[in-house]
Amino acid sequence: MKRVAYLGGYYPAEQSIRRSFTDHGADIIFPYDAIPRYPMVYEKRGGHSSRSSYKAVKNPVNYSDPLPETGFCMQTIPKHVMFVPQKGLHDYFDKYKPDVIVHRYYLDTPYMHSNAREVAVKLGIPYVAYRMETWPLPGYTINPIDCDLMLYANKCDEPLINQKKDWWCWGVSQNERNLHKPRLTELAAFGLVGHNSGQKHDSLSFYAQAAKKIDKTIHVYWGMATEEWGFLARDVFIQPIFALEEQTEFMNGCKVAINYESVEGMHGCWSYKIWQTMGCGTPTITRYKPEYLKMFDGALLQCNTDLEARNLMSELLHHNDAFWQHISKKSEEVVHDKYEWFTNFDRIMREHNLW
Measured CA to CA in angstroms, residue 219 lies from 141, 238, 255, 258 at distances of: 36, 6, 11, 9
Q: Write the CB contacts of 229 (distance below 8 Å, at least 6 apart in sequence).
A: 193, 223, 236, 238
Residues in the chain: 355
Mean pLDDT of the chain: 85
**197 — pLDDT class (breaks 50, 70, 90):** low
Same fold for the pair 3-33+84-173+340-351 and 185-338: yes
Mean pLDDT on 20-38: 83
Does the domain made of 3-33+84-173+340-351 have the CATH classification 3.30.450.40?
Answer: no
pTM for the whole thing?
0.88
Given a cut of 70, is residue 37 above it in pLDDT?
Answer: no
Give me the pLDDT at residue 114, please. Answer: 93
Which range has the worst mean pLDDT, 14-18, 249-253, 266-270?
Answer: 266-270
Give me the pLDDT at residue 65, please. Answer: 32
The string of DSSP codes covering 255-291 is EEEE--SS-TT-TT---THHHHHHHTT--EEEE--TT
Q: Write the CB contacts of 254 (distance below 8 Å, at least 6 apart in sequence).
A: 183, 185, 186, 187, 188, 219, 282
Find how far residue 96's CA is from the centre of its chain. Answer: 27
CB atoms closer than 10 angstroms to residue 290:
9
> How is the chain split into domains, by residue range?
3-33+84-173+340-351, 185-338
Given a cut of 70, is residue 276 above it in pLDDT?
Answer: yes
Q: Write out pLDDT tens, residues 288-317.
A: 999 999 999 999 999 999 999 999 999 999
pLDDT: is 237 or 55 the higher one?
Answer: 237
Does the domain made of 185-338 have the CATH classification 3.40.50.2000?
Answer: yes
Which range has the worst mean pLDDT, 99-103, 199-203, 314-318?
Answer: 199-203
Helix (H) or strand (E) holding 226: none
